[in-house]
Chains A and B, each alone.
Chain A
């Protein structure tokens, strides 16, 4: 009887502890949002939302200062989308190869190998891009400068790949073997089976992997700060990929230390943080919806 009561008390304690842990995660997110908002909103004393979002010039120290986010937002988009365009097909192909095609010994080497790539610090990628890849690409492509948007994309692709590969490979591997057998027994080739059955069956895991990769790419600061040239100009067309850009993250990291706390510039940087936060929130929500939608047929 006593033992039972003690057990029930213990049970209660554990339940509460789990509840608190769950609540803490949500509270953190809310608090980050509140603090960002608190330090971002005063920027509207110095400028308008329209100027902020559509302004073409980022000249925070000019007189009068101009707080146009457009070049920075576009810079972030260029670098991120470029990274995604490289990392997604490559990562998926790599994941499919590891789980479906490679012989066992190769699997055992490749998977940990790719995962090691995820542990390389971002500053190392920046370093490699800055000193090795950038100058070489500038030489080959005949560019004026060795620091440009696509170089950032390339480096970010390397960093996002391990996540995409690892998560998608897990998802692909967990597709029941019976589905593959059924497909092959209908006269499908291995390639047809991978493309038409295995990848669609693993899609929610693949979407999750790609989005985790995007998360890494859009939030990445150090590498892009080092290799994208930091020119706050609006990139134009595809050619913009080969010109220097500056991303939101690089701007915050580069300028936060040099602003006067409480100045409009300071608040503008917080507004950028808010935008990044909202982008991340939006990607997650879209991903969630996508997973749920694709899961409907799969359930």
Chain B
């Protein structure tokens, strides 16, 4: 932990901690995308990450399920603990990790198959039992993603025929079907209209009861509407982290203040 970070306004949340990062640095080749991130993310709450484009919030999110592994030049230093155990051990099973830490991307990308097969994709990978239980998992996941009533009569239809908002809820259902504890959401509403955005936000508040949610968002109103905790990123550093109410109403760092009041970004 570097000197400059310790006096930052970074609060330790109360209660059970799901994810914790220690001195997390991320490099793309020589470029330092993240600098010394130390943060604790509480279980079964929504944590929002805000900041201007290119500030590293998405890169940070992708450290939490090791999606950065896919980028050739990416290198991670420091550590990420999930339930107290490092996810960057040499023998970490990355597929198992991603099963526990699901991710919803910015643009919905259904697989070119039926709605049913999209949701069943994960369970099939991980060898869920017979046909009956698979059908149940699919129904439960679609209900969980508030999509069931709209698609229950058309489960065999191509997922690509759904609207954008429905596709994004399908993406969420697909993740839920795998049975994760954590949901990472990378600007999940940026490609959606206000109505669809509202539905996803409602859904997140329902999902919060059972899942730890980390959402990256461009939209500060969204962050203030759905999250209990907020982190503000700038140029690869975590500037401030604490309760959402505190960050938005009484920010301690001048830069946070400027950002949440819309003076830049």
Contact = CB atoms under 8 A, between A and B. Distances in A.
Given A182-B171, A184-B70, A189 B95 contact: yes
Interface in A143-189: 176, 178-179, 181-189
A297 B114 contact: yes
Chain B, interface residues (CB within 8 Å), range: 20 to 34
B178 interface: yes
Nearest to A104: B72
A178 B109 contact: yes
Contacts of A184: 67, 70, 98
Contacts of B126: 187
B109 A299 contact: no
Nearest to A103: B72
Interface in B76-98: 95-98
A207 interface: no
A8 interface: no
B95 A297 contact: no
Contact of B111 (A187, A189, A197): A197
A298 interface: yes
B107 interface: yes
Contact of A196 (B95, B96, B102, B121): B121
B180 to A, nearest CB: 9
B113 A188 contact: no
A192 interface: yes
A297 B105 CA distance: 22
B135 interface: no
A68 B111 CA distance: 50
Nearest to A185: B103
B112 interface: yes
Given A186-B175, A296-B158, A181 B70 contact: yes
Contacts of A201: 111-112
Interface in B197-241: none
Contacts of A178: 105, 107, 109
B45 interface: no
B99 interface: yes
B65 A183 contact: no
B160 A299 contact: yes
A200 interface: yes
Contact of B158 (A176, A189, A297): A297
Contacts of B102: 185-186
A217 B134 CA distance: 43
Contacts of B57: none
B105 A181 contact: yes
A200 B110 CA distance: 13
Contacts of A187: 95-99, 122, 125-126, 178
B169 interface: no
A183 B174 CA distance: 10
Contacts of B111: 179, 182-183, 197, 200-201
A20 B102 CA distance: 56
A176 B160 contact: no
Given A185-B102, A187-B96, 13 more contacts: A176-B109, A178-B105, A178-B107, A179-B109, A181-B109, A182-B111, A184-B67, A186-B125, A187-B126, A200-B111, A200-B112, A297-B114, A298-B112
26 contacts: A176-B109, A178-B105, A178-B107, A178-B109, A179-B112, A181-B67, A182-B111, A184-B98, A185-B98, A185-B102, A186-B125, A186-B174, A186-B178, A187-B98, A187-B99, A187-B126, A188-B95, A188-B122, A192-B125, A196-B125, A200-B112, A296-B158, A297-B113, A297-B114, A298-B112, A299-B160
